[in-house]
Structure 1
Amino acid sequence: MGCRLINAASYTLITGASSGIGYAIARNLVRQHKAVILVARNTEKLNMAQAQLLELCPDAHILTEVVDLSDSAQIKRLLSFISQQKINLEGVVHCAGDMLEAPLMMSRDIQIDQQYQIHLKSALLLCQGVSKLMLRKKYGSIVLVSSVVAEQGGSGQVVYASMKAAIKGLVTSLAQELGSYNIRVNALAPGVIETPLIAHFDDEKKQQLSQRTALKRLGEAEDIANVAAFLLASQSAYITGQTIAVDGGLRL
């Protein structure tokens, strides 16, 4: 049974959409009959994600773009494509990224530069570009993904935590710049979520982390997707400039 499409003329752009939180957000939106643009750097994984979503909703409007967010030129080409195709962009979720786990004294310059590009500079460039596109309609919702580690820190995560902490400053400042144009900017700060990002954790470590949360479990990608979908929707029309923790009470 096919899905009935609603608002197919308006798209939501999702980075890191081939797996983990990004894919869960895409799946959540497709189930709501939303049109999406999936962005990831791995062609095979991106095509697989698209196929899985089309199996879920055969009539879904799903565009895909292979983009390496560590390359600023590729980000600019993505934005140019959206502009030239006159795609009506109503939402953006930027959740691509990876985690550098190394003490600061052992982190190499190239690793720091890569983390800056993937987590922060890509967010700045995307926000800069999509803001201009959203100004045409005077409407839009931008959701960035930070991390609980930005607030509580973490040994061996100095570089990663620094980049994620900067997202909060980006969100609060950009929300003030764009608020009068009815463009909202928010961030999510996930706790420990069962995604490929923590696939290398053994069962003992996962158990220890789950016991540190108030809910005594690790989060699922869908937990984050539900909140992201809310921030993209009209129900959150009076929320902007916020970084919302979705961590199962990890910081309580």
Structure 2
Amino acid sequence: MHTKKLAEKVVIVTGGGQGVGLGVARALADDGANLVLTGRTEAKLTRAADELRDLGAQVLVVPGDTRNRADAVRTVELTVERFDRVDALVNNAQSSSPGVPLESVTDEDWRTTLESGLYGTLYFMQAVLPRMKLQGRGAIINFASRTGIEGLKGFGAYAAAKEGIRGLSRVAAREWGAHGITVNVICPAALTPAADAYLEANPQERTRYLSEIALGRFGDPQRDIGRAVAFLCSEDANFITGQTISVDGGQSML
């Protein structure tokens, strides 16, 4: 019988209406968590919420844009109003324009990528902090990428945002550890509809990526990435903080 390690826990997932965010939300729901989904497209969030409720989760939908601090604050306020707690935060939302050479990155590319990812991650972390401090416990899981760690071509703005998130996460882990708050980073290799579209347009990249992955396949957003996130949200991970964990089938080995 599957033990529900996150029973009654409340987790906020940004960008939870699709892709990796939805896969993570499914894994969290399967482990017993109640969920707060936020993202820019309400229709996607609503469809995701209906699916997650069928898995037994209570779900609150809060449309918003991670680029706006006020949306982060409002999401946390509505979460506390509904559930009276915030146990974990998953900062997954990120906009980007892959395949753009560094010399061609525009101000708009730069702003959109950094504001949706790096800024949004900070805004949500700051928004949940008072409640987690009051509870004396909390788990924050942020998302980064090997594109930043290894400096992959065509990912200048994205790499900068993701490496910024890793630095931010390490500082938060040291500053907030005294309050029982853990902060960790996952670098995933997952096949989402957006990733599949990019690889469909760049078949040579699909071949190269798969050749680099020791396990010979892309990760599944729910079964592979989601379960790793669920672990970091659970009591089993209480003594893990400040770490970057590659959940990528052995594509990167640090």
Post-superposition offset of 1:54 = 1.9
Aligned residues: 248
Post-superposition offset of 1:45 = 0.7
Measured at CA, do residues 94 and 182 of structure 1 come closer, stay the same or move farther in structure 2, by a change above 3 Å?
same
1:186 maps to which residue?
184
Secondary structure of the structure 1 residue equivalent to 2:199:
coil
1:55 maps to which residue?
54
Structure 2 residue runs without a partner (length 5+): none
For the Cα contact (< 8 Å) 1:99–1:197, is it kept in 2? no
Greater than 4 Å deviation, 4+ residue runs = 4-9, 83-86
Measured at CA, do residues 245 and 9 of structure 1 come closer, stay the same or move farther in structure 2, by a change above 3 Å?
closer
Whichever residue aligns with residue 230 of structure 2, its letter is: A
For the Cα contact (< 8 Å) 1:152–1:251, is it kept in 2? no
Identity percentage over the alignment?
28
Give the alignment of 1:95-110 within 5 angstroms: 95-101=92-98, 102-110=100-108
Post-superposition offset of 1:172 = 0.9
Select 1:66's aligned residue among 63, 82, 98: 63
Whichever residue aligns with residue 38 of structure 2, its letter is: V
Give the alignment of 1:26-41 within 5 angstroms: 26-41=25-40
Deviations 1:38-77 (A, max 9, x none): 11111111111011112333xx211111011122332232
2:85 maps to which residue?
88
Deviations 1:1-60 (A, max 9, x none): xxx999765411111111111111111111122111111111111111011112333xx2
Deviations 1:140-192 (A, max 9, x none): 10000111112111111011001101111111110011111111000101135
For the Cα contact (< 8 Å) 1:75–1:125, is it kept in 2? yes
Select 1:154's aligned residue among 138, 152, 155: 152
Measured at CA, do residues 6 and 141 of structure 1 come closer, stay the same or move farther in structure 2, by a change above 3 Å?
closer
Secondary structure of the structure 2 residue equivalent to 1:200:
helix
For the Cα contact (< 8 Å) 1:21–1:221, is it kept in 2? yes
Deviations 1:183-208 (A, max 9, x none): 10001011353442442322553233
Using the TM superposition, name which of 201-210 and 222-231 deviates more.
201-210
Measured at CA, do residues 51 and 85 of structure 1 come closer, stay the same or move farther in structure 2, by a change above 3 Å?
closer
Question: Following the alignment from structure 1 to structure 2, what is the Cα–Cα distance between the partners of residues 231 and 112?
Answer: 30
Using the TM superposition, name which of 186-195 and 94-103 deviates more.
186-195
RMSD: 2.2
Post-superposition offset of 1:78 = 2.0
Question: Following the alignment from structure 1 to structure 2, what is the Cα–Cα distance between the partners of residues 164 and 97?
Answer: 9
Secondary structure of the structure 1 residue equivalent to 2:96:
coil
Give the alignment of 1:230-249 within 5 angstroms: 230-249=231-250
Question: Following the alignment from structure 2 to structure 1, what is the Cα–Cα distance between the partners of residues 71 and 163?
Answer: 25
| 2:77 equivalent to 1:76 | no
Question: Following the alignment from structure 1 to structure 2, what is the Cα–Cα distance between the partners of residues 237 and 6?
Answer: 13
